Amino acid sequence: MTISSFLDKVLLREKGDSWSHFWLCYWCDVLYFILCTGKTLSPQVMFHNAASNIICKVLFGTRYEYNDETIKKVVQWFTEMLKIFNGPWALLYNSVPYVSYLPLPFKKAFKNMELYLNFSNGLVNEHKRTRTAGEPRDFVDCYLDELDKQKEDSSFSEEQLRRITLDLYLAGTDSTSNTLLTGFLYLMNHPQVQDRCQQEINRVLDGRDWASFEDRHNMPYVQAVIHEVQRVANTVPLSAFHCSTKDTELMGYDIPKGTLIIQNMESVLREEGQWKFPHEFSPENFLNEQGEFVKPEAFMPFSAGPRMCLGEGLARMELFLMTVTLLRKFKFIWPEDAGEPDFTMIFGVTLTPKPYMMKVQLRSEQ
């Protein structure tokens, strides 16, 4: 049993319940937008909170209100950790290990990490008290079920579970929220693309308040837009680092066992000859002449192969449902006093759009 199969098991279980808990998450997010309707707002924290709540639901079966102090603290821990990871102190720490003994700012990242692990440990202990074996409610229950089946020399352990939830929370919030930030930055500044998406959403939903993940098959243009956002966002530009497990040869190059492998996703996501418009934002990159959605082989924002992103299924679902739900209800406008948009990304572990403001209006046509 792999970690990705645990995630799939949780998502498939929820599918049988018509994705009910995801609807609740997204609808509450929409209500949050309504409170801000007509005002100019910064979407950074909002998107991060939405992604955090969804990954909390998947991992722990728990969802928090936006004003809950627990989720505020968790979001703050990860926000501070990512800021340090993306900054010069992390570079210094990795380059000069001896500085780890000094009271420098990167110590804050380790402290926050330990705070999260303690938080996770409390939830795992609660699961152990309340779970019914064989009837998993979420990712933690799935892992504990598998742990019961393992032998003593297994790599499965409660400590490993705590660390895995840290990895999944970190990967499942920052990448999704940054992709959404990039997407709505482009949608506001390409109003014709936003309008066409909304027309397709209206046609497919035909009066329904909710979209399902299955609706994506009838929304080729929306699919093309979301995939194009992922392409230009290139949220994880170096993907996850890998390591060769044996001596091998690739295209005439010898790669010894144990070599660190770093992928340059930019090389495929903007490669000349693979895309109609490699250096522009254009949904046409994912549409054929008949207007049907097509996905070129060079599209691999989740990497490729057996070690590709294990959260791909969850991320694809989040991006589609959140985008469709928000565009169904609202129109997003670049503020008149915001000046020219800056599409330059801030480089780090993930690529992040520069902070911006947005104006939100209720759509007159539903």
Cα(343)–Cα(280) distance, rounded to whole angstroms? Answer: 11
Taking a C-beta distance cutoff of 8 angstroms, is the pair 335, 14 a contact?
A: no
Asked if residue 309 belongs to a known ligand binding site, the reply is yes
User: Per DSSP, what are the bridge partners of residue 11?
Assistant: none
Tokens read off for 109: 């990242």
Nearest to residue 132, comparing CAs of 121, 141, 143, 122? 141
Nearest to residue 52, comparing CAs of 17, 23, 25, 85? 25
Backbone dihedral angles phi then psi of residue 41, each to the nearest 5 degrees: -140, 160
Taking a C-beta distance cutoff of 8 angstroms, is the pair 66, 32 a contact?
A: yes
Q: Is 173 exposed, middle or buried (0-12, 13-18, 19+ CB in 10 A)?
A: buried
Residues placed in the known binding site for heme: 309
Residues placed in the known binding site: 309
